[in-house]
């Protein structure tokens, strides 16, 4: 099976938005619509937390020695991965409360400036960390070194290393099956998509059908969505492994996918500078960007994309009109 070349080390975006310039392009998005916060990471080695409603940068976090390639967060924790082969865990508990109250992150009660602090650092990968995901129990990090490291969230101790891929593991995420069992899915440049048990390291299923390397994966509501260098987005049944749909329309690598399990909408963003939406078999035109797109997220109102044009584009979901562009 062909192993695709390494994906670019572009910055990432999480649940945040900003009007100020960031020196390098944006690479990953996470948490769109979570209390109006967006978080982004960049080749400039920083992580930025934004007020997504007003376009203000609330915090700039420093700690990585390489490009910040991926992130994930919830109400308590922010986790970032980098080309420096490390994962940093940040205390994120006050971002959803104090950070929204002012433009500067100053707590109205104490008058003190609060900045998310590092509470842990995970090492051990032999190459850049390409994706991170976590839940109440596990933290997983995928890497160019072809492995996935599974760490306990409680004590930050390494539990096992998953070694079933033979190419760079470009993406991975945790999710639940219909029997409430936690599983992980991972997508590799070797062309394979695998589902496995983080508690045991057992491979449970291999999803077959993509003709080239995988770049991205989403998992929700018993549905797995993948994007590939074969220019397609595929929708899979997590229980059976059957391919439910093949979404076509991109002319180059599909770098990012997002899935809305309520409306059953699938979004794909690619190096052809297009964001595309599919409802069943019908593709809708999304925003066009000035460069290759590295990540995309959607909620009930907005499509947010980030790419090598050094901007985060926030577009009205219904009207298709740009709402704001960050880093311009």
Per-residue model confidence as pLDDT tens digits over 27-60? 554 444 444 788 999 999 999 988 877 778 888 9
Round to whole Å and give the CA distance between 116 and 74: 13
For the segment 277-316, what is each residue's pLDDT rounded down to a tens digit? 887 444 334 444 555 767 776 665 666 767 666 666 766 6
pLDDT at 223: 92
Q: Show the domains of the chain with their CATH numbers.
A: 9-84+87-122+292-328 (no CATH), 124-248 (2.130.10.10)
Between residues 318 and 264, which one has the greater pLDDT?
Answer: 264
Tokens of 31: 């948490």
State whether residue 79 is helix, strand or coil: strand
Round to whole Å and give the CA distance between 88 and 71: 10
Handedness of CA 309, 216, 88, 72 (dihedral sign): positive
Tokens of 112: 């003190």
For the segment 243-254, what is each residue's pLDDT rounded down to a tens digit? 988 999 999 999
pLDDT at 7: 55
For the segment 186-241, what is each residue's pLDDT rounded down to a tens digit? 999 999 999 999 999 999 999 999 999 999 999 998 999 999 999 999 999 999 99
**What band does 23 get if pLDDT is binned at 50, 70 and 90?**
very low
The residue ranges of DSSP E strands in 144-301, in sequence order, are 148-152, 158-162, 169-176, 182-188, 193-196, 203-207, 214-220, 223-228, 233-237, 243-247, 254-260, 265-270, 274-279, 282-288, 293-298
pLDDT at 300: 58
When the pLDDT of each residue in the chain is averaged and rounded to a whole number, the result is 80
- pLDDT value at 63 more than 90: yes
pTM: 0.77
pLDDT at 100: 44
Asked if 36 and 52 count as a contact pair (C-beta separation under 8 A), the reply is yes
Round to whole Å and give the CA distance between 119 and 141: 17
68-92 burial, b if ≥16 CB within 10 A, otherwise e? bbbbbbeeebbbbbbbbbbbbbbbb
191-209 burial, b if ≥16 CB within 10 A, otherwise e? bbbbbbebeebeebbebeb
- Sheet order of strands, 254-260 included: 254-260, 265-270, 274-279, 282-288
**What band does 154 get if pLDDT is binned at 50, 70 and 90?**
very high
Q: Which of 287, 286, 193 is nearest to 241 (CA)?
A: 193
Asked if 185 and 224 count as a contact pair (C-beta separation under 8 A), the reply is yes
**What band does 111 get if pLDDT is binned at 50, 70 and 90?**
low
Length of the chain: 328
């Amino acid at each position: 099976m062909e192993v695709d070349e390494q994906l670019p080390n572009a910055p990432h975006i999480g649940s945040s938005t900003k009007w100020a310039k960031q020196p390098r392009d944006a690479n990953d998005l996470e948490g769109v619509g979570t209390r109006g916060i967006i978080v982004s990471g960049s080749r400039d080695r920083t992580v930025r937390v934004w007020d997504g409603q007003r376009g203000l940068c609330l915090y700039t976090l420093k700690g990585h020695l390489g490009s910040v390639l991926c992130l994930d967060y919830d109400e308590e924790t922010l986790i970032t991965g980098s080309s420096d082969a490390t994962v940093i865990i940040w205390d994120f508990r006050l971002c959803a409360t104090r950070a929204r109250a002012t433009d500067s992150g100053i707590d109205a009660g104490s008058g003190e400036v609060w900045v998310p602090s590092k509470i842990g650092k995970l090492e051990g990968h032999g190459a850049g960390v390409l994706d991170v995901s976590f839940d109440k129990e596990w933290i997983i990090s995928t890497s160019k070194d072809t492995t996935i490291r599974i760490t306990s969230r409680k004590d930050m101790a390494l539990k096992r290393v998953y070694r079933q891929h033979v190419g760079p593991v470009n993406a991975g995420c945790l999710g639940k099956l219909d029997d409430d069992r936690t599983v992980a899915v991972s997508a590799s440049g070797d062309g394979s998509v695998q589902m496995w048990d983080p508690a045991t390291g057992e491979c449970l299923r291999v999803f077959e059908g993509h003709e080239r390397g995988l770049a991205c994966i989403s998992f929700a509501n018993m549905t797995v969505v993948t994007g590939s260098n074969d220019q397609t987005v595929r929708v899979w049944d997590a229980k059976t492994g059957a391919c439910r749909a093949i979404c076509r329309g991109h002319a180059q690598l599909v770098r990012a996918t997002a899935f809305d399990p309520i409306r059953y909408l699938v979004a794909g963003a690619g190096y052809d500078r297009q964001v595309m939406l599919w409802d069943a078999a019908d593709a809708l035109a999304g925003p066009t960007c000035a460069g290759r797109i590295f990540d995309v997220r959607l909620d009930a109102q907005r499509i947010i994309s980030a790419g090598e044009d050094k901007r985060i584009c926030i577009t009205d979901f219904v009207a298709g009109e740009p709402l704001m562009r960050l880093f311009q």
